[in-house]
Copies of this chain bind each other. A is one copy, B any other.
């Protein structure tokens, strides 16, 4: 009546039992599937992760994978939660600002290790076990902050959103270059050439000043750490005093 992998009902992958009572014991585990998908995505980009590829990667037939992962979206959820398990939490120090800044750095490192993460994180993939652990830890760090719990979650979401977009921008060129038949430098070259030709028209004087005035792109990479730190610090600083609405 309701064969396990064939239902057309909504379902949360985490609620589905790993081992059903009845049939033969499964030859694979959810963890090993997630690990294989992460391995492929790290090595060849998220677009290389296909059901066929993951299945053959763990030595299974393509359609066998659907016994473990009913839809491809669920595979993404498994991946996100798997790498979320890489966080190593240290007890809150009492300085919530420092704690959250350090966490943001860990998140950035995580996203550098798994460049597909920002992309997959943007829709709210929902509340796997490691995500719950992470949120609980954030709230523990935010205990000294005197705002209601709901706003603390807003703060965490705002920080993570900023980190995700920051790292996505950081990685945009490199990630694009992966799936392109030419080099990253060549791509970069034609793009800055185009931008330069537009700026040279004089139609965008402020933009031209802002782009050429500061750092000349060469030292930009070295500054990235500083820019990141400053930008997250600013965001956190905005929570120090109550929201200011004139």
The answer to whether A25 has its CB under 8 Å from any CB of chain B is: no
Q: A82 to chain B: closest CB distance in Å?
A: 18
The answer to whether A227 has its CB under 8 Å from any CB of chain B is: yes
Query: In the docked arrangement, what's the CA distance between A245 and B153, Å?
Result: 24
Contacts of A191 in B (CB 8 A): 12, 126-127
B12, B175, B182: the one contacting A10 at CB < 8 Å is: B182
A245 to chain B: closest residue by CB: B233
A215 to chain B: closest residue by CB: B150
Instruction: Count the copies.
Output: 2
Q: Is the interface of A mostly helix, strand, loop or mixed?
A: helix
Judge whether A132 and B182 touch: CB under 8 Å.
no
Judge whether B139 and A15 touch: CB under 8 Å.
no
Contacts of A132 in B (CB 8 A): 198, 203-204, 207
Q: How many residues on the A side are at the interface (Cβ–Cβ under 8 A)?
A: 81
The answer to whether A119 has its CB under 8 Å from any CB of chain B is: yes
Q: A152 to chain B: closest CB distance in Å?
A: 6
Judge whether B165 and A157 touch: CB under 8 Å.
yes
Query: In the docked arrangement, what's the CA distance between A180 and B10, Å?
Result: 9
Judge whether A210 and B244 touch: CB under 8 Å.
no
A186 to chain B: closest residue by CB: B10
The answer to whether A26 has its CB under 8 Å from any CB of chain B is: no
Give A80-109 as 1s and 0s: 1 = Cβ < 8 Å from B's Cβ atoms: 000000000000000000000000000000
